[in-house]
Structure 1
Amino acid sequence: MAIDAADAAPDDTSGRIDVTMVNRGSTTCSATGFAGVDIKDADNTSNPVERGQAQPRVTTLGPGDAAVFNLAYDIDSTGDSLTSPTDIEVTPPNETHSVTLAWPEGAGAIKGAYTDVQVYPTHTTD
């Protein structure tokens, strides 16, 4: 499975990170529900991300198919953000091994604390 993270903010106030997972295997797999996500900070601490209110669903991926899940937060435009994210540690649904991704360049500052970020369930990109 290949995984990457990208800034997908729709505007200047709503932050969104899309984490895309691509099935690089030769067989069909599924991802059900929420990924486990921790945000690592510049001081090397780690903070878990809470689940959003959306209902989890089964996402079936054939070889080469992609699924995405989102991190959502409000953007701090004051310059006084309490956070300094450097990495996103992701444990995909139904997996036990995590992958560390760089915090996407250009992503807006998080308003509040890491507890104000929410992760949403995996879904197909179609």
Structure 2
Amino acid sequence: MSTIPTVLFVCVHNAGRSQMAAGYLRHLAGDRVEVLSAGSMPGDSINPVAVAAMAEEGIDIAGHQPRKLTDDAVSESDVVITMGCGDACPYFPGKRYEDWVLDDPAGQPIDAVRPVRDEIRRRVEDLIASLDGRLRHRDHP
């Protein structure tokens, strides 16, 4: 593993859950973590309701684009978080994998997306805590 841990968030369209998770991790961990996100079947753009929900938190994800999941993205990641992509995510030994079961915000009103967003934040905070030893090492060599 590199000095800076790399975390990859994967969902089907890379337009909602994985983008919100990546936004939170960038916001909360800053440059102490390399953040990637991708989709097994990426959409054309990020879900505007996910963008609005994150904007309520002061986090702008509007400028990001859905990306196609690649073997390279998985192989360069230390932690791979999947969110409903099933068997589409390649497996590489030695990686830490987690599957976050979360409702898909696609087509949902903002009132239904906010609880998903809040659960993603909680899980990202737990992820940061689990990486804390490596993050402190980065801050204090």
Q: Taking structure 2 as the reference length, what is the TM-score of the superposition?
A: 0.27
More strand by share: 1
More helix by share: 2
